[in-house]
Amino acid sequence: MQIQIFQDKESLHRAVAQMFIEAVKVKPNIILGLATGSSPLETYENLIKDHKENGTDYSEVVTFNLDEYIGLEGSHSQSYRYFMNTSLFNGLNIPLGQTNVPSGTGDVNETCEAYENEITNAGGIDLQLLGIGTNGHIGFNEPGTPFDTRTHVTALTQETIDGNARFFESADSVPKKAVTMGIQSIMGAKKIALIAYGSKKAAAIRDMVNGPITESMPASILQNHPDATLFLDEEAAALLKPQ
């Protein structure tokens, strides 16, 4: 794993956005894996700003998002489909039909299989963006998820429900289940960029980088990825062993 530590959030987001912009320029029909949560928001703002100012072209790009809450329609303001449309896709020239977010309604088991096939048929993910939960989850792969899972339905832990409650009226209105790309699906990406900032993420970052590779710390599997880069601020990096 490569680790980049930034003094402020602004330069962190600029660096991640630059990685994505360069990748889109090199391969206009790139397959991007995208994430939700607060971590990537300003990176997305940077991508939109660059698209408007410099005309970076997303017309051939295809995207796959990591996850979606079960039970929320794409029109629900807390669904990840809605988040992606309003935080990124509507600001770029990407046709919405080329953007994939797993559906949280209908036959979800069918969705899981179809989603995995679509990623494979598209040629696999070239560049995957990740955030990390305070318990080390990536996508919605909670601690204990087997490393060989592909897209599947999962129950959220109370820690994740509480962590995401800030986006809902109360913890009670956070869905208890989600559909998520699995650890194996994520590890199949050719290149991975993970964003983490703030002291709340410091213990998870320490454990994923310096701890053992274990299913109880899902992000620790990234130690085995050949091309993963962590984009951290000083607070998130504070507990790391000196390199």
* Residue numbers annotated as active site: 67, 135, 137, 142
Q: Is 164 in the site for ligand GLP (CB under 6 A)?
A: yes
Q: Is 222 in the site for ligand GLP (CB under 6 A)?
A: no
Tell me the window of 30-38, 44-52, 204-212, 214-222 that interacts with ligand GLP (CB under 6 A).
30-38
- According to DSSP, residue 200 is labeled G
- At 66, is the secondary structure helix, strand, or coil? coil
Tell me the window of 22-30, 35-43, 88-96, 224-232 that interacts with ligand GLP (CB under 6 A).
35-43
Nearest to 130 by CA among 119, 122, 138: 138
Q: Is 35 in the site for ligand GLP (CB under 6 A)?
A: yes
Q: Contact letters (x/-) for ligand GLP, 46-75, by CB under 6 A?
A: --------------------xx--------
For 128, phi then psi, to 5°, come to -110, 125
In the region spanning residues 109 to 148, those forming contacts with ligand GLP, defined by CB under 6 A, are 131-133, 139-140
Tell me the window of 36-44, 52-60, 120-128, 222-230 that interacts with ligand GLP (CB under 6 A).
36-44
- Helices (H) and strands (E) in the chain — how many of each? 7, 10
Neighbours of 37 (CB within 10 A): 18
Could you say which of 37, 102, 175, 188 contacts ligand GLP (CB under 6 A)? 37
| Beta bridge pairs of residue 129 | 193
Tell me the window of 20-28, 34-42, 93-101, 145-153 that interacts with ligand GLP (CB under 6 A).
34-42
Q: What is the DSSP track for 76-127?
A: STTSHHHHHHHHTGGGTT--GGGEE---SSS-HHHHHHHHHHHHHHHT--SE
Element containing residue 20 per DSSP (H, E) = helix 9-26
Neighbours of 105 (CB within 10 A): 15
Q: Is 182 in the site for ligand GLP (CB under 6 A)?
A: no
Distances (CA, A) of 178 to 6, 40, 185, 202: 32, 19, 16, 25
Q: Is 194 in the site for ligand GLP (CB under 6 A)?
A: no
Q: Contact letters (x/-) for ligand GLP, 76-115, by CB under 6 A?
A: ----------------------------------------
User: Where along the sequence are the contacts to ligand GLP (CB under 6 A)?
Assistant: 35-39, 66-67, 131-133, 139-140, 160, 164
